[in-house]
Amino acid sequence: MGWIWTKSSTPGPGARLCSIATEQVAAPTPFYLQSSVSALRGVGPALVQRLQRMDIWRVQDVLFHLPSRYQDRRHLLPMGSLLPEQEGAVLGEITQVEHLRGRRDQWLVTLSDGTGQLHIRLFHMLPPMRAQWQPGRRLWCFGETRAGYQGLEMVHPEWQMADQPQFQAPTHLTPFYPSTQGITQAQWRRWVAQALTLVDQLPDYLAKYLGPAWPALGEGLRLLHESAEEVPTPAHPAWQRLALEELLANHLAIRASRVGSDAAGAPVIAGNGTLWRRFLQQLSFKPTTAQERVIGEINENLAQARPMRRLLQGDVGSGKTLVAAAAALAAVEQQFQVALMAPTEILAEQLSTRFATWLAPLGVEVGYLVGGLGQKARRLLLEAIREQRTQIIVGTQALFQEDVQFARLGLVIIDEQHRFGVDQRRQLLEKGQIPHLLVMTATPIPRTLAMTVHADLDVSVIDALPPGRSPVETLVMADSRRGELMARMRHRLADGEQIYWVCPLIEESEILALQAAETSYADLQAALPEIPMGLIHGRLPAAEKAQVMADFQAGKTRILVATTVIEVGVDVPNASLMVIEHAERMGLAQLHQLRGRVGRGERQSSCILMYHPPLGAKARARLQVLRDSRDGFVIARKDLELRGPGEYLGTRQTGLLQMRVADMLRDEALLAELPTLADQLERHDPEAVQALVQRWVGRRLDYSQVG
The DSSP code for 58 is B
Torsion sign, CA atoms 597, 599, 605, 608: positive
C-alpha span between 74 and 342 (Å, rounded): 59
pLDDT at 429: 61
* Higher per-residue confidence, 592 vs 260: 592
Contact 359, 366 (CB under 8 A): yes
Greatest C-alpha distance within the chain: 100
pLDDT at 22: 38
pLDDT at 422: 52
Residue 390 pLDDT class (50, 70, 90 cuts): very high
Contacts 24+ apart (CB under 8 A), 41-47: 41/190, 41/194, 42/187, 42/190, 42/191, 43/191, 47/182, 47/183, 47/187
C-alpha span between 597 and 571 (Å, rounded): 6
The whole-number average pLDDT for the span 619-631 is 91
Q: Is the pLDDT of residue 366 over 90?
A: yes
Q: What is the CA radius of gyration of the chain?
A: 32
DSSP labels, 376-428:
HHHHHHHHHHHTT---EEEESGGGGSTT---SSEEEEEEESGGGS-HHHHHHH
Q: Exposure string (b/e) for 532-556, b if CB count within 10 Å is 16 or more?
A: ebbbbbbebebeebbebbeebbeee
Q: Is the pLDDT of residue 511 over 90?
A: no
Residue 513 pLDDT class (50, 70, 90 cuts): low
C-alpha span between 438 and 295 (Å, rounded): 11
Q: What are phi and psi of 542, to 5 degrees?
A: -55, -40
Q: Is the pLDDT of residue 652 over 80?
A: no
Q: Give the Å distances, CA to CA, from 66 to 44, 63, 231, 440, 640.
A: 22, 7, 13, 37, 24
pLDDT at 500: 95
Q: Is the pLDDT of residue 462 over 50?
A: yes
pLDDT at 15: 34
The DSSP code for 341 is E
Q: What are phi and psi of 70, to 5 degrees?
A: -135, 155
C-alpha span between 619 and 584 (Å, rounded): 5
Q: Is 600 exposed, middle or buried (0-12, 13-18, 19+ CB in 10 A)?
A: buried
Contact 19, 4 (CB under 8 A): yes
89 bridge partner residues: 76, 142
Please give the distance of CA 217 from its chain centroid, rounded to a whole number. 27
Contact 9, 17 (CB under 8 A): no
The number of helix segments (H) and strand segments (E) in the chain equals: 23, 23
Please indicate whether the domains covering 274-462 and 472-629 agree at the CATH topology level: yes
In 267-408, the DSSP E strands lie at: 309-314, 337-341, 366-369, 392-395
Which fold does the domain 274-462 belong to in CATH? Answer: Rossmann fold (3.40.50)
Report cis status (omega within 30 of 0) of the bond before 175.
no
List pLDDT tens digits, range 323-360: 999 999 999 999 999 999 998 887 888 899 899 999 99
| 3-class state of residue 284 by DSSP | coil
How many residues does the structure list for the chain?
Answer: 707
List pLDDT tens digits, range 150-178: 899 999 999 999 998 888 888 889 999 99
| 3-class state of residue 285 by DSSP | coil
Residue 699 pLDDT class (50, 70, 90 cuts): low
* pLDDT mean across residues, the chain: 84
- What CATH architecture does domain 79-172 belong to? Beta Barrel (2.40)
pLDDT at 40: 94
pLDDT at 641: 78
| 3-class state of residue 13 by DSSP | coil
Domains of the chain, residue spans: 3-71+175-202, 79-172, 274-462, 472-629
pTM over 0.75: no
* Higher per-residue confidence, 600 vs 459: 459
Within a 13 Å sphere around the CA of 606, how many CA atoms are in the beta-carbon half? 15
C-alpha span between 175 and 68 (Å, rounded): 8
C-alpha span between 302 and 104 (Å, rounded): 79
CATH superfamily of the 472-629 domain: P-loop containing nucleotide triphosphate hydrolases (3.40.50.300)
Question: Sheet of 337-341: strands edge to edge?
Answer: 366-369, 392-395, 337-341, 409-415, 436-441, 309-314, 458-462
pLDDT at 187: 95
pLDDT at 345: 82
Within a 13 Å sphere around the CA of 466, how many CA atoms are in the beta-carbon half? 20
Q: Exposure string (b/e) for 557-594, b if CB count within 10 Å is 16 or more?
A: bbbbbbbbbbbbbbebebbbbbbbbbbbbbbbbbbbbb
